[in-house]
Amino acid sequence: MRVIFFLLFSVLSFSQQTKFVDFVQCEAKVMPDFNSKSISGAIRYQFKVKNEIDSIRIDAKNMDINGELKINGKRVNFKYNSKEIILFEGYKKGKNTLEFTYECTPKQTLYFVGSVDDFQIWTQGQGRYTSHWLPSFDDVNEKVIFNIEFEIDYRWSFYTGFSNGKQIREKKKQRMPGYAFVYEPKNSVLKFKMKKPMSSYLVMLAIGKFDKKEFKSKSGTPIELWYDTRDEAKFEPTYRYSKEIFDFLEQEIQFKYPWQIYRQVPVRDFLYAGMENTTSTIFAQDFVVDSIGFNDRNYVNVNAHELAHQWFGDVVTATSGKHHWLQEGFATYYALLAEQHVFGDDYFYNELYDYALQLKKAAKTDTIPVLNEKASSLSFYKKGAWALHTMREDIGRDNFQKIVKNYLRKYQFKNVSTEEFLNEVVRVVPTYDVQKFKKSWLESSDFDMNLAETYLKKNKAVADYIAIVKKKADVSTYKEILNSNAYFSIKQYLFYRMASVPFEKKKELIEIGMKQNLYVRQAIAETIAEIPVEFKSDYETFLNDASYKTKEIALVHLCNNFPEQANDYLEKTKTIVGNNDFSFKITWLKLGFLYGELTEYERNTILTELLALTHVNFESSVRQNALEVLLELEPFNEKVIEGLFLATQHHKWQFTSFARNTIRKLLKDITYRQKVEQLVLNSDESMKNLYLKFLNEKQ
């Protein structure tokens, strides 16, 4: 009965546990194993019991807690229910230590990507998920100093990695007591140490074939920029403006970078754009680009966003999901300010205008305000950013900086609520109506576009943009705009707006637009699907633009319009791979299959190459692009079917969703269903079960 009482009390009171217990420091020694997709470790927690408490909980999902669990050096009884370790004896008021070992095979949060010959191991603990691989705390209000030590098997000598904090350098060679010889451990042991506490969701681990380049910020903070060893040639465009962004944010926030070091690393098949783990950001390999790819999709915004989180989210952390905008709204806004510093005012206001258009559209159906844990990402991020922009504009940059500085100083390494931030606003600017601000921006689901436009029109480029959007389309008035110094997004908009206008009526405007920057040219390429013969030679110049996206659009339209010259276009572009999703290369293979003058052997070679791109060694974006083309060309090919079904087992939800939805749609076709049923008879047990899983679903 006593144990049952403790369990019930633990469930009811854990949300208040931090009032009674303070976990101060964690020493974790872990060893991930790629072959078994598992991790084992030894944990030592230091904690203080501030007030008497009947039970203490540590989150630990689906783990084997091995051997003895000790508190203050003595073995104690404990309970484990597959979700949490519950302590109910052995601790005392004041300082305590807890020690135990564990192992687990995480179903999420710790990801093993690639093959045994070329793999990466990385974490994504956003929210409350670190407890799937490391016994820790799902409650963000429990902040701990985490010191992580991990081993890399000696067989993986080309691999390295890191965790949070500064690396502690130790001599590998050790002289054994009483012996003359020197002992050198086989495994690589990497140790990382933090000085300040953080919430558990910010703990990270990344292992792979990485290398790095190092430099220091203006204020002296060591910065490490990591990359896959295969991508050294892409280092500069990938990390372009990184030092400039760091120095700008530190100056703009007026609060020195609060940690010992900052590093970043791209990993394959990351679940999101990036994650602001304390001192050590992980981001998606999709942002690793060459100088051409930089023009299509670059890391600048995500880079600034995740760095801003080192202050907003990592140093000050929202007490609950209700106040999540204090993290995402701030990070989004400061990322925009960094881009304003790099790209200029026109870019900054154009992005704000785009945010406003998205929010205006969403407000028609989204009834959940920012100050609600169920608010959409759009609200937390972009409406939160808009709220901060209006405040900064209304009270002035200097006052805003002072508020933020005071806020960070007062609540550093603590948890905060919206009221606590607004209290700091009132202290600096007593006349500012924070209640009106809160009601308009945080508690209302509406988006006041008219009000937003009063802020946007402070920028001439966006003011002109808004005016054009509201005017009736008139081709004759566009010439002056195209010949002016108007921001390129306005000129892009004109061509998208004229997409359905016959070529002859916009010919003169196109001639002007062709001399503009690559983004205006891209809009022209995209909106002319039927290419007049007289424009053919001009259109062919798109193949030379410094954009893989423009090149791909142009190649498709040229092959469709002039199939007799497809071989020439394909020959000219045969060496281009494109961005990380291989979109250009896969499109090239498709067009070669459809339009190329090929032998049967050459056609099969193309299919073989496309099938190879569906292999596990490639990222999900590559695999999906290849599968989409293969489903057009050879939907009944056994390897295509197998690749599609295997995609449902991937860890990335976007990819598995594509695969599941596609399979369910295809199985409605009786011929396709029969083909899959035949495969069941000739497949190994694993594939057989996978096929049957979908075949047995109710139609």
Longest dimension (CA), the chain: 93
Q: Let me know: does 276 contact 331? Beta carbons within 8 Å.
A: yes
Chain centroid, CA 107 distance in Å: 19
pLDDT in tens, 435-459: 999 999 999 999 999 999 999 999 9
Cα 635 to Cα 662: distance, rounded to the nearest angstrom? 11
**For the stretch 255-264, what's the b/e string if a residue is b when 16 or more beta carbons lie within 10 angstroms of its beta carbon?**
bebbbebbbb
- Segment 535-557 mean pLDDT: 98
Structure confidence at residue 188 as a pLDDT band (50, 70, 90):
confident
Q: Let me know: does 630 contact 610? Beta carbons within 8 Å.
A: yes
pLDDT in tens, 74-99: 999 999 999 999 999 999 999 999 99
Residue 15 has a pLDDT of 56
- Rg of the chain in Å (alpha carbons): 29
Residue 10 has a pLDDT of 40
Residue 185 has a pLDDT of 54
Residue 472 has a pLDDT of 76
Residues 6+ apart with CB under 8 A from 371: 322, 323, 325, 418, 438, 442, 443
Structure confidence at residue 432 as a pLDDT band (50, 70, 90):
very high
Positive or negative CA dihedral for 234, 267, 246, 221? negative
What is the overall mean pLDDT for the chain? 93
Q: How many CA atoms lie less than 13 Å away from 333 in the CB half-sphere?
A: 25
Structure confidence at residue 13 as a pLDDT band (50, 70, 90):
very low
pLDDT in tens, 143-156: 999 999 999 887 78
Structure confidence at residue 693 as a pLDDT band (50, 70, 90):
very high
Chain centroid, CA 326 distance in Å: 19
pLDDT in tens, 193-226: 999 999 999 999 999 999 999 999 999 999 999 9
Q: Is the pLDDT of residue 511 over 80?
A: yes
pLDDT in tens, 54-76: 999 999 999 999 889 999 999 99
Cα 503 to Cα 508: distance, rounded to the nearest angstrom? 9
Chain centroid, CA 638 distance in Å: 34
Across the strands, what pairs with 208? 160
Residue 473 has a pLDDT of 67
Structure tokens at 342: 């790099």
What DSSP element (H or E) covers 151? strand 143-152
Structure tokens at 346: 């026109």
Residue 29 has a pLDDT of 96
Cα 562 to Cα 569: distance, rounded to the nearest angstrom? 10
- Segment 258-266 mean pLDDT: 98
Q: Is the pLDDT of residue 9 over 50?
A: no
Residues 6+ apart with CB under 8 A from 77: 88, 89
- Segment 596-622 mean pLDDT: 92
- Segment 621-640 mean pLDDT: 97
Structure confidence at residue 361 as a pLDDT band (50, 70, 90):
very high
- DSSP label at residue 595: H
Q: Let me know: does 123 contact 130? Beta carbons within 8 Å.
A: yes
Residue 183 has a pLDDT of 45
Q: Is the pLDDT of residue 5 over 60?
A: no
Q: Is the pLDDT of residue 664 over 80?
A: yes
Going by C-alpha positions, the residue among 271, 264, 280 that lies closest to residue 203 is 280
Residue 179 has a pLDDT of 46
pLDDT in tens, 375-404: 999 999 999 999 999 999 999 999 999 999
- Least confidently predicted of 4-13, 101-110, 327-336: 4-13
Cα 279 to Cα 307: distance, rounded to the nearest angstrom? 9
Cα 305 to Cα 311: distance, rounded to the nearest angstrom? 11
- Segment 122-129 mean pLDDT: 91
Q: Is the pLDDT of residue 125 over 80?
A: yes
